[in-house]
A and B are shown apart, each in its own frame.
Chain A
Amino acid sequence: MTWDNTNLFADDKPTDLAFRKEVRQWMEENVPLDLCHRPDRLTPADLKPWHRKLYDKGWVAPHWSKESGGMGATLTQQIILFEEMARLGVPTPFPHGLNFFGPILIEAGTPEQKAQHLPSILTGDCTWCQGYSESEAGSDLASLQTTAVLEGDHFIVNGHKLWTTNGHHADWMFALVRTDPQAQPRHAGITMLLIDLKLPGITIEPIQTMRGDAEFAQEHFDNVRVPVKNMIGKINEGWKIANMVLGSERFTTGHPRNAAVLLNRTRMMAEISGAIVDPIFRHQLAQLEMDLLAFSAFYHHAAELHALGKAPMSMAPVIKISGGEIGQKASELLMHAAGPLGLLSDNLKTPEGLVNIPADLFEMRRLTVGSGAVEIQRNVIAKRVLELGA
């Protein structure tokens, strides 16, 4: 029996099988080949035509309700769409508008805000970024210090946002700002604002990552006037709103396929370098493949429970920690397996297309830091699941 680590414990029901078949056929006919299996980082501009094509097909926002212009898909259908794109190595559209902000807007936006922003998120015409982190507010997000002071029908925003993915490519930012400096607990004084990044007083600088490219940026706000109508929900309710929509997005960002791709690349490079016959290398690979198998079991178990509305709160941090750490270890074993080839900066031509092993290694470092470091996720489990506290 052959071992396919990209398809472990997948068990489509008959109706899902039909959907998968339809998706697979359409993807094979429509994916832009120049975007597939690219070792370099793609920008929102690169993805725009593909985003638009998915929009025209009606598949760009599977998790949004039909009334909001989405597909109203089941979780399984959302996973199938992700898997079929991953199978061909084509990227999914950037998640900041579609997955992070869109659901918040649908849940908490006014009719005017929805009318203004939902259509351009769907078409991909507007690129969004998430303005949460600051220099003094990373893991401890509630201590953020960018202020917004109400003056008539505008907020005057001053401060600094940092580590903003696509900040230098984005048109708009959904940001958390401090509207009550005295509030206790601190997260009670936070508000969510939508900021047009072309407003006067905003300067944006891209930041180079260790990969050598600009994935994120920093933004300075100097007396930026943001209309009150751009506030989401009520003043000082930003924390609640930001945490309102969480959970199902983990099923795409945390899909076990992400680590499977790296492990298969590791296997291929080990065959090229010769490491594949080394018993100790094989043992290391087996450990990671077994971890991936267990993680895949957990993932499908979680998806089934989530669809029944029975997924526990621990699900999201477990997926985040396990998926991130397996992916990270896989990138390290990949570097190890490739030997001297792994050290070369230029893309390598391989039977599976172009690969860049240092890029994989460096890219994986962010998996355990971004959107909640794994240490914070462990604290969450300790306090809220295992009931270990002060």
Chain B
Amino acid sequence: MEPILNDLQIQLRDSAKRLCKDFGGAVVYRQRHQHQGVTNAWQQIMKAGWTGLLVSDEHNGLGLGLYELALILDEAGQHLWHEPVAASCAGAYVLSKTNQSNHLKHVLEDGVMVLPVCVDVEDTYNNRQSAPVLQNSGDHLVLNGLVRFVSFVNLESLLLISVIDEQGRHALVSLSAKAMGVLLTRHARLDDSLVSDIEFKDVEIQSQDILAWDDTAIQLIEEMKTILRVGISAQLLGLSHAALEMTLEHLRIRKQFGKPLASFQALQHQCVNGYLDIELNRSLLYRTSMAWDKHQSHPAMISALKARTSRSALAITRSAVQLHGAMGYTHEHNIGLYYKQAVVWASEQGNDVYHAHRFSALTLNVEPFAWTTQS
């Protein structure tokens, strides 16, 4: 079922559809390894003002909500578009909330990419990472630590880093990626995207670079994570939808045993199961975004959304590859790109198992039992 949209939202979705079609798709995906840093697509995003989507009018943003961001990223996912729209929206949102008008101007007008760098210490699958530590060193503060696997970082990026100090206080720090003592190490991933390990070695932090402390910092970091989680869920939904459509078309055309594959009930029901997941997830995405925009959402809803969209995207693309037969297994056929992208996005911002655990912790008031074996 289609989300319920007003005229402005329809316009926004249509322009997202156009942009994603022109600057995304399988051809662009296949050129990813040649394009690093600012791409044509990113310039279009800047021109459309989408990085300021969640920034209020008085800070020169579009003053829209998560609902509209979900609309755009649903389209992006359908076209395998992986530009960091959600990350930049989250970053710009926090810069506006902390009145960083200078930084915000660079982001909204000059195309500086602002990226959240938030280690989720509760995520069991995060490679045992912990947040970078802010320490006193003489008369100033320095940052030390390592954050791994951050997408899209380049030397021009502005980083918004979730840190703790030696007393365990939380803070949110802004830092240029080319500051002294910041070391970037890049890795290619299976979807031809790049991630960076960011090492902080005695990086000097000025007091004006600390955007928030304690509860304010915790809340802003949580809000950034929510935007990222909802954003990637929207991309997973769009991707699942496109992979299913492509598979349906294949089943209608491809004939075996003298009839179209579409006439076999076992194959029909596989597709219906994917369709059911997509229908429920689409409603979940838009109702959850709407609730967040109205300050009525529960944090468990965000985990449910990420868990379900991840799980279904994996199931749907797995089935899509299967139903394409041997062609599905080739490098040449595009259905494989959807599978790879699903594997990557399903893992980013917490996989379905982590989010199911988080959902439990947020909705049950009894702690789980830690199993032990007696020797």
Contact = CB atoms under 8 A, between A and B. Distances in A.
Given A3-B300, A290-B356, A271 B291 contact: no
B92 interface: no
Interface stretch (B35-43, B94-102, B263-271): B263-271
A385 B275 contact: yes
Contacts of B281: 294
B363 A3 contact: yes
Contacts of B251: 388
B40 to A, nearest CB: 35
A72 to B, nearest CB: 24
A305 B267 CA distance: 30
Interface string A303-335: 011001001101100100110000000000000
Contacts of B304: 289-290, 293-294
A12 B34 CA distance: 51
A79 interface: no
Contacts of B265: 379, 382
Given A3-B362, A283-B360, A301-B287, A295 B280 contact: yes
A187 to B, nearest CB: 21
Contacts of B356: 283, 286-287, 290
A278 interface: yes
Contacts of B8: none
Contact of A9 (B3, B280, B291, B367): B291
B256 to A, nearest CB: 13
A211 B288 CA distance: 39
Interface in B266-307: 267-269, 271-273, 275-276, 279-281, 283-284, 286-288, 291, 296, 298-301, 303-304, 307
B363 A289 contact: yes
Interface string B71-108: 00000000000000000000000000000000000000
A272 interface: no
A297 B268 contact: no
B326 interface: no
A156 interface: no
B280 A298 contact: yes
Contacts of A298: 1, 279-280, 283-284
Contacts of B371: 279
B252 A286 contact: no
A318 to B, nearest CB: 6
Nearest to A11: B296
Tell me which of B248, B272, B357 has the highest count of chain A C-beta atoms within 10 A of its own C-beta. Answer: B272
Given A286-B356, A290-B356, A295-B280, A277 B1 contact: no
Contact of B368 (A282, A293, A302): A282
A269 interface: no
Interface string A345-383: 000000000000000000000000000000100110110
A389 interface: yes
B329 to A, nearest CB: 23
Nearest to A278: B369
A278 B371 CA distance: 9
Contact of A294 (B283, B300, B360): B283
Contacts of A344: none
A360 B181 CA distance: 63
Contacts of A385: 275
B262 interface: yes
A285 interface: yes
Contact of A382 (B272, B291, B296, B303): B272
Contacts of A375: 269
Contacts of B27: none
A382 B301 contact: no
A300 interface: yes
Nearest to B288: A297
Contacts of B288: 297
A92 to B, nearest CB: 25
Interface string B350-370: 000100110110111011110
A149 to B, nearest CB: 37
Contacts of A297: 280, 283-284, 286-288
A107 to B, nearest CB: 26
A90 to B, nearest CB: 27
A390 B275 CA distance: 19
B272 A276 contact: no
A283 B308 CA distance: 13
B359 A286 contact: yes
Contact of B1 (A279, A289, A311, A379): A311
Contact of A305 (B4, B271, B287): B4
Given A290-B308, A386-B248, A276 B280 contact: no
B248 A321 contact: no
Contacts of B63: none
Nearest to B361: A282
B204 to A, nearest CB: 40
A300 B287 contact: yes
Contact of A293 (B252, B262, B284): B284
Contact of A276 (B1, B252, B366): B366
A324 B46 CA distance: 46
A293 B359 CA distance: 11
A1 B363 CA distance: 9
A387 interface: yes
A298 B281 CA distance: 8
Interface in B291-333: 291, 296, 298-301, 303-304, 307-308
A134 to B, nearest CB: 24
B68 to A, nearest CB: 17
Tell me which of A3, A289, A388, A390 has the highest count of chain B C-beta atoms within 10 A of its own C-beta. Answer: A388
A315 B248 contact: no
B272 A381 contact: yes
A389 B366 contact: no
Contacts of A1: 298-299
A308 B2 CA distance: 13
A294 B280 contact: yes
Contacts of A381: 272, 275-276
A271 B353 CA distance: 23
Given A283-B356, A378-B273, A388-B252, 9 more contacts: A9-B291, A277-B369, A287-B356, A293-B304, A298-B279, A315-B1, A322-B276, A379-B265, A386-B272
18 contacts: A3-B298, A277-B369, A283-B357, A286-B363, A290-B307, A290-B308, A290-B356, A291-B308, A294-B283, A294-B304, A301-B3, A318-B280, A382-B265, A382-B268, A386-B268, A388-B268, A388-B271, A390-B262
Please provide the 5 A-B residue pairs with the shortest distance between their CB atoms, ordered closest to farther. Answer: A277-B369, A382-B268, A297-B283, A294-B280, A297-B287
